[in-house]
Amino acid sequence: MVCAVSEQDGLRDLGAACRERWPQRVHAAYEAARRTWRLECRADALVDLASWLVAERGVSFAGLVVEEAPAEWVLRYLFYGDRDTGWVEIVARCRKPARAMPSISARVHAADWHEREAEDLFGLVFEGHPRLGDFVLHNDVWPEDVGVMRADYDPAVRRPRPEPDPAWQPVRLVEAPGAFWMPVGPIYSGVTESALFLLETVGEDVIRAFPRLFYKYRGIEKIAERRSVDQVLLLAERCAATSAFAHSLAFCQAVEAIAGVEVPARARALRIVLAELERLRHHVGAIEEICESTALAVAASQASILEEDLLRLSGSLTGHRYLFGLNVPGGLTHDLAQGAVRAAADGAAAVVPALRRLREMLGVSSSFVDRLEGIGTISRADALAHGLVGPVARASGVRRDLRVAQPYSGYESLDVLVPAEEDGDGYARLRVLFAEAEESARILAQQAAALPAGPVRAPAFPVAAGAALGWAEAPRGAAFHWVRIGADGLVARYRLVTPSFTNWHGFHLAAENFAFQDFPIILASFGLSAGEGDR
Amino acid sequence: MLPQALLVAFFLACAAGMVLAAVLPDRRAPAAIAWVGAEAAAAALASGGGVLATGHVVQARLWSLAPAGTLVLALDRFSAVFVVVTACVYLAVSLFSAGYLPRYLGHYSLRSFGIAYHALFASVVLVLMAADALSFLLAWEAMAVLSYLLVNYEHEREETVHAGYLMLAMGEAGTLAAALAFLLLAVPAGGLAFASMRGAAAGLGAGARWAVFLLSFFGFGVKAGLVPTSTWLPRAHPAAPGNVSALLSGVILNLGMYGIMRVNLDLLPVASVGPGILALIVGTLSALVGILYATTQTDTKTMLAHSSIENMGIVAAALGAGLVFAASGRPVLAGIADVVALYHLGNHALYKALLFLGAGSVDLAAGERDMDRLGGLIRRMPWTALWFLVGSLSIAAMPPTNGFASEWLLLQTLLRSVELSAVSIRIVFALCGAALALTAALAVTCFVRAFAMSFLGIPRSSASRQATEVPRSMTAAMGLLAAGCLAAGVAATGIIPVLDGAVAPLVHARAAGALVPPFFAPGAGGLPPAFVAEFRDLGAEVGKGIVPGPGLVVLHRGGARNPVVFAMSTAYTLAMLLLLLGAAAGAVAIATRARAVTRRRCWDGGLPRLLPAMTYTATGFSNPVRVIFGAVFHPSAPEDTVEVVAGHFRTAVRRSRPEVHVVDRAVFDPATRAAWRVARALAGMHHGRINAYAAYVLATLLAFLVAGRLL
Amino acid sequence: MRGWVPAGLRTGVRTTRYPDAEETAPGVSPGLPRGGRAADGAGGALADRCPTGAIVTEDHGIAVDYRRCVHCFRCARGVPAPPDWQPGYEWAASVRGDAAQPLGPAFARSLRILVVDAGDCGACLREVKQLSGPYYNMHRLGFFVTPTPRSADILVVVGPVTAHMRSPLVQAYEAMPAPKRVVAVGACALSGGVFGPSFASAGGVAGVIPVDVMVPGNPPPPLAILHGLLVVTGRRPSAALRSPAAAPPPAPRAEGAP
């Protein structure tokens, strides 16, 4: 974790510092069990406080959670520090019927899309935000002012239009004689997720490209409301199937935190095994996509073989190729036989030499490297400002990894190596993927060799009311699942911050001034999932 | 003498047109201009055609001016070619004007337009008929001033005035150079009559010959729009009214070529290869630079103007090749090259006038000339679209149009340089041939783009969406020119002998025998019987009954071993084209007869609607050309200005490409800078001390005295 | 590109022999529960545990609706009497009846597939993608992915059809020339899966465009999708979408111990 916070001695003095700077306006309280500072903040101090935390205290923006209470809106801005400092939660309130809050995105730019989403889905207004509207709910499909996340939203009354509004126009940024949009999507080449990319161009060179996402908006956060924990777990698994285990893990950890349940040691260790197996498989798939985007068919086939090997390995180890149906609050649904885990570890270990060979051959294929080098570059400053996560951030020199920064499920006792590169281009991202895949295989083998004995599931426990954050380092980066369970034992609010959502926000940085034929490569080297971002 | 009477009728019609224009109210003027202009054009056409057919030179002696000799007018076959071309263009433009001119009612005076329009016609014919330097220059000046007045017609717009001044200034500089050339010729001849100049030409030294060539080539080259003096052309054309642009490209540019040819073919035939090589290179450069800029311009008329530079370059290249062949003792090849030059000149006049009229129609209907903002007009203006397509096909040299016939002949003629002995000349020919081939390819790109971006796709502006078809007189005028383009291509074998007749007296050889042999006549024009039989086996004779003419195949005869070097037939191409297209259409109709056709909207990836702004623009289409030829266009990289608010939100990205025309960059800007430097240096002398000025006067006087003594 | 060709050759042939022979490698399919007799009360308990209502009780047993099964294993793990579990993968079923015949022999060796993601979680799409990989290599059977509906014969749809993807999906379907077939892949595309019909999704493809073949699974393994493509061309028999309590389901080749 690259945080300049250590000299501040963590956030220990945070309460005093806040009292001193914003007397009467910020009330700080520390919750030791969750290592979280809760800062109750008046709206007029919000922007200063948030930007001070990020700039001076080195914490990173994790997400914005909006809750609707009968009389007020509660906005929680979540920040995470590193392993010594813990978490910060700014709580700001907005009494109804007012619905305007100051925007922090100018100073904490990572909050940009969170504010846009809250504006679009709750109808809140963030004053000072230059671009609101037409975001999650497409204006050509949904009538204006439909806050689908509001408690009073009635899906029977406010429906999407059966035919999209032909008057819709995207926002035009490029002003150049003869400039035009090259639309790519929402349905485009081959087997791809649905998203629209508007390439603003004057011919062959594209000046900038902007993604229009949320074609796959399934309203997971909304449909999770008033469902049982068990049912929301299904949704958590399926928000992004290629990271299903990480997301279900983050969700289960949130529920476990609310209930205060201790997960058995064997379950914690097995969770690491499975999470790393998933990461390995995902990264091999991402490498395959990159090879395919450069039309290097043999390399793509080699990676594809490895991916299917790992899928089969997952299938025979757990019964499901994408590791569905394993996580459950309190542990795992069933134990995995020691021999099967060993075999899986061996199978994963066998992938490593093949990956190394692939990396070496790719490294000397100049026609391949040429197409990745200097493509889709993101500077470290941009990556930090946009709060990017995962391999994308690490390729730009931001060594952010929740397994190290906020370890969970036993990662605290492991020595996780977080590879990073400085170049920030497509090739750097590929190198990070290779290095992480190898590291995952190493952790997997290490865990599989030393699995503790014992149960894999905590004794049955009642679902308690309360709220908590669960997190995990998904293959694409930090995933945050914030869950509130109501007194009736049903989920009252489920906030899902996915790494793809975070990183799509920075995608346009990499898609500026490039040649048209490089677009698929930039896209593949980001390795993002539209479904994971759209939710 | 019928042609003579017709000529008198022509001048009377022009005079009548001027009088009518002065007398009639403005709202009646368009119709009057159309009728009288068309009648004058018909008279000129008939008279020029008569001269071409009979070969009689129409001559008239005007007044005798004491020191300068008699003013003589003469219409020989060579001039008649130009008169016919001019008359064709004027005929169509006059018709077109009936529908086009009413747009100026109430804004600009149609009276002055009418007077200048007819006077220009008369002055052009006078230029072509002038048989002595004085009447030539007088008519030339009249033509220059009148064309300036017409270009400057929309004088309330600032850029029009600028363009007009530039045209006038550069034109006058050229006229001065041309006058000097005439003076150089007149000194040994002892008079201004062309006839005496011809007689005295042999006595000129090499230096004087070079001087005459350079002065006439670059002096008249200004009017023809050859680089580097083409700067005025892409500015004047868009500034002029639509119908005047057509005249400018279809008539006035030709006069520049006429001047060059008259001096260097007729009055003082070039004797060394040097001038020809220079003309070839300048022509090729003009062609390449012209088409490169044409391909990247988005204003329809600017694009067409650059394309005129290209076509004049092609004519100059053909002429240059002719000069080289003539100087190398290959009169038949020289004749072929000169025929090609004339042929292409006439073709260009036809299709460029057509395209300018098309651009004028679009401008009138949509009020927009920027191709980036046009599109989809084929549904709104089907006739204009059809005629513009014919013009585009012609200028892109697609068989069987006239552009194909002349450009194909040009490239084949350049390949004949293998018959020359000097290797260096052959290399120059090869390089120029390659560059001209590239030019031809770029011309296809340019006009695919011009047609597609204006007429196909989705309208990119409300102007384009709401355009309506122009009046019938305008579409008829374009249709006339389009028919001319097709006819001049298909009837190549008929036109070539006529042009040969005009050129033959100048090169002293007949090219028609080699170019258009009487293929089906007994003896087949001396071609080996085996070869003729081979062609007959291919079915060449089938067309004999259908297409009349001296022969259907244009050929050039090589040596005994290889009797025919190249052959083509636009007439057969047309026949085959019609046959195949008809068969294909029939086959498709039969094959899909039983099929139910379901029409769905164009697949756009599932967008709510494919916006006009999501389709290729003209700029986008030609961007690869701009990138590939980056060195020609802009050595500086594009400048992006990114606007950001609140730290990271991009609100606008502005891209500008400061561009200076390559000729301005390479020639005029350095020249201007040098002139400024000299002026600044000289300004140091103006320090206001009276004794210094007295010294300057004294020094100048001394210098003159010394110089007078020495010379 | 020296080195790549030998590397490819060294890898050897990995391609499955399906449909000529059964694929028996472990981990190619998660399997499906099978309907059948159940002890008193056990059937009801299973039906209660099923989060998507795929299991229903039926005269002294349970029946399984494969359109709804999402492989959650709630019925298989931690219960005293789990249902029979069938491992196979030939699950695809033709659902149009006589309305649409399988595409004829003219399409046997060259069939173009347009894949439309109408809101899937990424798994179905990833499994469709595996079909082009060396292990499944659908090209050998004449199936090719095309990027445009204009040249597509088969529309493969994954996902529950979100509100935003509804119009693009309809447009793609309408842009396809006849004859055309639609293959809905995955529980979400068949019934909405865990997302169900909701304010943001249509709950399946059949409510938006006519579906010819349904491929159950969450996600269906590549072989099941391949089976779906073979069913649509009439080269493999269709399976049943419902496993009733009474009779064993027709399983042409995928029998074996559960």
Arithmetic mean of pLDDT over chain A: 86
- Tell me the mean pLDDT in the region A482-487: 90
Q: Do A115 and A237 have their domain in common?
A: no
Residue B556 has pLDDT above 80, yes or no: no
B598 with C178: Cβ contact below 8 A: yes
Give the integer Cα–Cα distance in Å for A167 and C192: 30
**Contacting partners of chain A (3+ CB pairs under 8 A):** B, C
Q: Quick one: which of A491, A406, A20, A54 has its CA closest to A234?
A: A491
More confident residue, A415 or B359: B359
Among A107, A127, A147, the domain boundary falls at A127
Query: What is the tens place of the pLDDT at every residue in C115-159?
Result: 999 988 888 899 999 998 899 989 888 899 998 898 898 999 998
Q: Decide if A195 is inside a domain.
A: no
Best mutation target among B601, B650, B656, B659 (most A Cβ atoms within 10 Å) is: B650
Give the integer Cα–Cα distance in Å for C232 and C211: 11
Query: What is the tens place of the pLDDT at every residue in B332-377?
Result: 889 989 999 999 999 999 999 999 999 999 999 988 888 888 888 9
A240 with C73: Cβ contact below 8 A: no
The domain that contains A240 carries what CATH number? 1.10.645.10
CA distance, residue C172 to nearest chain B CA (Å): 7
A200 with B653: Cβ contact below 8 A: yes
Tokens of A229: 């924990």
Query: What is the tens place of the pLDDT at every residue in B423-443?
Result: 899 999 999 999 999 999 999
| C78 contacts chain A (CB < 8 A) | yes
Query: Residue A93's beta-bridge partner residues?
Result: A74
CA distance, residue C191 to nearest chain A CA (Å): 14
Arithmetic mean of pLDDT over chain B: 87
Tokens of C30: 């998660």
| C243 contacts chain A (CB < 8 A) | no
CA distance, residue B493 to nearest chain A CA (Å): 43
Query: What is the tens place of the pLDDT at every residue in A11-45?
Result: 777 878 888 888 788 888 888 888 888 888 888 88
Q: Decide if A303 is inside a domain.
A: yes
What is the end-to-end Cα distance of chain A in Å, rounded? 27
Query: Residue B130's beta-bridge partner residues?
Result: B73
Arithmetic mean of pLDDT over chain C: 83
| A401 contacts chain B (CB < 8 A) | no
Query: What is the tens place of the pLDDT at every residue in B291-304?
Result: 999 998 889 999 99
Query: What is the tens place of the pLDDT at every residue in A87-100?
Result: 888 898 888 888 88
**Are residues B98 and B30 in contact, defined by beta-carbon separation less than 8 angstroms?**
yes
Residue A230 has pLDDT above 80, yes or no: yes
Give the integer Cα–Cα distance in Å for A111 and A90: 13
Residues of chain A contacting residue C163, judged by C-beta atoms under 8 Å apart: 141-142, 160, 217
The residues near C120 (Cβ < 8 Å, ≥ 6 apart) are A216, A241, A531, C158, C159, C160, C186, C188, C189, C219
The residues near B274 (Cβ < 8 Å, ≥ 6 apart) are B210
Residue C98 confidence (pLDDT): 61
Among A82, A105, A127, the domain boundary falls at A127
Those residues of chain C whose CB sits closer than 8 Å to some CB in chain B are 148-150, 165, 167-169, 171-172, 174-175, 178
Confidence of residue A498 (pLDDT cuts 50, 70, 90): very high
How many of the other CB atoms lie within 10 Å of CB of C78? 13
- Tell me the mean pLDDT in the region B558-582: 79
How far is Cα of residue B501 from the mean position of the Cα atoms in its chain?
22
**Are residues C113 and C229 in contact, defined by beta-carbon separation less than 8 angstroms?**
yes
Amino acid at B375: G
Q: Do A515 and A407 have their domain in common?
A: yes
Query: What is the tens place of the pLDDT at every residue in B127-180?
Result: 999 998 889 999 999 999 999 999 988 888 888 888 899 999 999 999 999 999
A234 with C121: Cβ contact below 8 A: no
**Are residues B304 and B237 in contact, defined by beta-carbon separation less than 8 angstroms?**
yes
The residues near A144 (Cβ < 8 Å, ≥ 6 apart) are none
Among A91, A107, A127, the domain boundary falls at A127
Residue B45 confidence (pLDDT): 92
| Closest residue in chain B to residue C171, using alpha carbons only | B606
What is the CA angle A249-A274-A307, rounded to 5? 120
Confidence of residue C249 (pLDDT cuts 50, 70, 90): very low
Residue A5 confidence (pLDDT): 39
Residue A8 confidence (pLDDT): 44
Q: Decide if A145 is inside a domain.
A: no
| Closest residue in chain A to residue C75, using alpha carbons only | A325
Residue B548 has pLDDT above 60, yes or no: no
Q: Quick one: which of B705, B607, C234, B245 has its CA closest to A167?
A: B607
Q: Do A225 and A119 have their domain in common?
A: no
Q: Quick one: which of B68, B321, B277 has its CA closest to B190?
A: B68
CA distance, residue C205 to nearest chain B CA (Å): 16
Confidence of residue B551 (pLDDT cuts 50, 70, 90): low
Domain that holds residue A33: 2-127
Residue C172 has pLDDT above 60, yes or no: yes
Tell the burial category of B482 from Cβ atoms under 10 Å away from its Cβ (0-12, 13-18, 19+). Answer: buried
Size of interface A-C (CB pairs under 8 A): 218
The domain that contains A80 carries what CATH number? 3.30.460.80
Residue B646 has pLDDT above 70, yes or no: no
- Tell me the mean pLDDT in the region B625-635: 78
| C13 contacts chain A (CB < 8 A) | no
Q: Which residue has the tokens 């629209």?
A: A196
CA distance, residue B588 to nearest chain C CA (Å): 18
Residues of chain A contacting residue C78, judged by C-beta atoms under 8 Å apart: 333-334
Query: What is the tens place of the pLDDT at every residue in B585-622?
Result: 999 999 888 888 788 888 888 888 888 888 888 888 88
Q: Decide if A56 is inside a domain.
A: yes
- Tell me the mean pLDDT in the region B31-56: 90
Residue A4 confidence (pLDDT): 39
Interface of A with C in 150-169 (CB under 8 A): 153, 155, 159-160, 162-164
Q: Do A305 and A428 have their domain in common?
A: yes
Q: Do A365 and A500 have their domain in common?
A: yes
Counting residues of chain C whose pLDDT is more than 70, the rounded percentage is 93
Give the integer Cα–Cα distance in Å for A158 and A164: 15
CA distance, residue B98 to nearest chain C CA (Å): 47
Best mutation target among A132, A171, A175, A199 (most B Cβ atoms within 10 Å) is: A175
Give the integer Cα–Cα distance in Å for B332 and B339: 10
Q: Do A409 and A279 have their domain in common?
A: yes
A216 with C132: Cβ contact below 8 A: no
Residues of chain A contacting residue C14, judged by C-beta atoms under 8 Å apart: 305
Residues of chain C contacting residue A242, judged by C-beta atoms under 8 Å apart: 122-123, 126
- Tell me the mean pLDDT in the region B538-563: 63
The residues near B89 (Cβ < 8 Å, ≥ 6 apart) are B246, B247, B250, B251, B349, B350, B353, B481
Q: Which residue has the tokens 């990989």?
A: C133
Query: What is the tens place of the pLDDT at every residue in A260-313?
Result: 888 898 899 999 999 999 999 999 999 999 999 888 888 898 899 999 999 998
A531 with C166: Cβ contact below 8 A: no
Residues of chain A contacting residue B648, judged by C-beta atoms under 8 Å apart: 106, 109, 112, 385-386
Q: Do A227 and A94 have their domain in common?
A: no
B606 with A187: Cβ contact below 8 A: yes
In B137-172, which positions are buried (b, 16+ CB within 10 angstroms) versus exposed (e)?
bbbbbbbbbbbbbbbbbbeeeeebeebbebbbebbe
Give the integer Cα–Cα distance in Å for B262 and A363: 68
Query: Residue C181's beta-bridge partner residues?
Result: C154
Query: What is the tens place of the pLDDT at every residue in B236-279?
Result: 898 899 899 999 999 999 999 999 999 998 888 888 888 999 99
Residues of chain A contacting residue B303, judged by C-beta atoms under 8 Å apart: none
**Are residues A272 and A321 in contact, defined by beta-carbon separation less than 8 angstroms?**
no
Confidence of residue A3 (pLDDT cuts 50, 70, 90): very low
C149 with B605: Cβ contact below 8 A: no
Residues of chain C contacting residue A188, judged by C-beta atoms under 8 Å apart: 147
What is the CA angle A344-A347-A349, rounded to 5? 110
| C164 contacts chain A (CB < 8 A) | yes
Residue B536 has pLDDT above 80, yes or no: no
Q: Decide if A146 is inside a domain.
A: no
Query: What is the tens place of the pLDDT at every residue in C192-235?
Result: 888 878 888 888 898 889 998 999 988 899 999 999 988 888 88
Residue C255 has pLDDT above 50, yes or no: no
Residues of chain B contacting residue C175, judged by C-beta atoms under 8 Å apart: 600-601, 603
How many of the other CB atoms lie within 10 Å of CB of A152? 6
Count the domains in chain A.
2
More confident residue, B426 or A203: B426
Best mutation target among C14, C72, C121 (most A Cβ atoms within 10 Å) is: C121
- Tell me the mean pLDDT in the region B84-98: 93
Q: Classify B589 as helix, strand or coil.
A: helix
For chain B, give percent helix, strand, coil, nearest 5: 70, 5, 20
Question: Which of left, alpha, beta for C97 (phi over 0: left; psi -120 to 50: alpha)?
Answer: left
| B652 contacts chain A (CB < 8 A) | yes
C175 with B608: Cβ contact below 8 A: no
Q: Decide if A257 is inside a domain.
A: yes
Q: Do A110 and A234 have their domain in common?
A: no
Given A106, A173, A203, which is nearest B620 (Cβ)? A203
C125 with A298: Cβ contact below 8 A: no
CA distance, residue A246 to nearest chain C CA (Å): 14
Q: Do A225 and A99 have their domain in common?
A: no
Tell the burial category of A465 from Cβ atoms under 10 Å away from its Cβ (0-12, 13-18, 19+). Answer: middle
pTM: 0.85
Give the integer Cα–Cα distance in Å for C210 and C220: 20
| A313 contacts chain C (CB < 8 A) | yes
Q: Quick one: which of A471, A467, A375, A468 has its CA closest to A429?
A: A375
| C197 contacts chain A (CB < 8 A) | no
Q: Decide if A520 is inside a domain.
A: yes
B606 with C178: Cβ contact below 8 A: no
Q: Classify B299 as helix, strand or coil.
A: strand
Tell the burial category of B514 from Cβ atoms under 10 Å away from its Cβ (0-12, 13-18, 19+). Answer: buried
Given C167, C168, C175, which is nearest B600 (Cβ)? C175
Q: Do A442 and A334 have their domain in common?
A: yes
**Contacting partners of chain B (3+ CB pairs under 8 A):** A, C
Q: Decide if A404 is inside a domain.
A: yes
Residue C254 confidence (pLDDT): 44
| Closest residue in chain C to residue B603, using alpha carbons only | C175
